[in-house]
Amino acid sequence: MGVPTLGCGCAVCCSSDPRDRRLRPSVLLRWHERGVAGGRERVVVIDTGPDFREQALRNGLTRVDAVFYTHSHADHILGLDDLRPLSFTAFREGGPIPLYVSAETREVLEKIYWYTFSPDATYPNRARVQLEPLGANTPVHGAEFVQVPVMHGEMEISGFRFGNTAYLTDVSAIPESSFALLEGLEHLVLSALRHKPHPTHATVEQAIGWSRRIGAHHTWLTHIAHELGHEETNRALPDGIRLAYDGLGLPVNMGRAAQ
Ligand SMILES: [Zn+2]
Ligand SMILES: [Zn+2]
């Protein structure tokens, strides 16, 4: 819902700590592709929620090579149209921006953004983007994105591993087979909504349990609701586990062909 949450006057929603102001979850990855003249910078975004435009402005985003979507809920997809200006540039330079999606996400995006994706679409300013099926491994300009299936209530959604880092949001359960994809991580970004149980999101306590099992050097909790104050929650977390916050940057090793 974002923090402050609309209509709420709780201590976290009224907090003056900038880390208690939370836009909807999203990830920006930048790396230099090896073997390309000048080591061209590559840019991938995971999810374009309703705050995507504001996040892009804050982080100086001027181009995007690809977007990955975790699932089709509003807080992860509703900024798709704000890819338009970036997609016009990408299109002039070579082609539409690929959006990597599951079959389920494709179906929802095609419905909501029918004026973009329908073969009959005639809207001249539609985003120059193209839906691409998400495979187990997706190469993007020297980096590789491994799909990590996780459960979000009854729904299977996609987490991603890239190099030594993984991003798992909106998780309520991690299937046994996905733990094998999460070995040897430096950074794990994992969602934890609040302390009280929720049907489709993990609690802080569940996230701590998975974090210990996965054994990443650093775990960053994201997709945090207004029940969790930044400072107070951090103080109670075990070593190596901290709340993420808007604008947090991490050094990520993207893998062999990217740096
Ligand atoms: Zn969701
Ligand atoms: Zn969500």
Q: Per residue in 162-181, pLDDT tens? A: 999 999 999 999 999 999 99
Residue 33 has pLDDT above 90, yes or no: no
Q: Per residue in 128-139, pLDDT tens? A: 999 999 999 999
Mean pLDDT score, 203-210: 97
243 Cα: distance to centroid of ligand 2 (angstroms): 16
Q: 39 falls in which pLDDT band (50, 70, 90)?
A: confident
Q: 68 falls in which pLDDT band (50, 70, 90)?
A: very high
145 Cα: distance to centroid of ligand 1 (angstroms): 20
Q: Say if strands 155-162 and 165-168 run parallel, antiparallel, or are unpaired.
A: antiparallel
Residue 212 has pLDDT above 60, yes or no: yes
* DSSP assignment letter at 20: G
Residue 65 has pLDDT above 70, yes or no: yes
Coil, strand or helix: which one is 93?
Answer: helix
Residue 258 has pLDDT above 90, yes or no: no
Mean pLDDT score, 43-57: 98
Residue 43 has pLDDT above 80, yes or no: yes
The Cα 78–Cα 72 span in angstroms is 9
Mean pLDDT score, 206-222: 97
47 Cα: distance to centroid of ligand 2 (angstroms): 10
Phi, psi of 8 (to 5 degrees): -105, 140
User: Taking a C-beta distance cutoff of 8 angstroms, is the pair 115, 81 a contact?
Assistant: no
Which pLDDT score, from 0 to 100, does residue 90 have?
95
The residue among 259 and 81 whose pLDDT is bigger is 81
The Cα 170–Cα 40 span in angstroms is 32
96 Cα: distance to centroid of ligand 1 (angstroms): 26
The Cα 155–Cα 258 span in angstroms is 32
User: Taking a C-beta distance cutoff of 8 angstroms, is the pair 26, 46 a contact?
Assistant: yes
Ligand nearest to the CA of 1: 2
Ligand nearest to the CA of 191: 2
Burial class (CB in 10 A: 0-12, 13-18, 19+), 204: buried
**H or E stretch at 157:** strand 155-162
194 Cα: distance to centroid of ligand 2 (angstroms): 13
Residue 105 has pLDDT above 70, yes or no: yes
60 Cα: distance to centroid of ligand 1 (angstroms): 26
pTM of structure = 0.96
**132 to 66, 117, 252: CA distances (angstroms):** 10, 12, 25
218 Cα: distance to centroid of ligand 1 (angstroms): 24
Residue 101 has pLDDT above 80, yes or no: yes
Ligand nearest to the CA of 71: 1
170 Cα: distance to centroid of ligand 1 (angstroms): 5
The residue among 220 and 123 whose pLDDT is bigger is 220
* DSSP assignment letter at 238: P
Which pLDDT score, from 0 to 100, does residue 40 have?
86
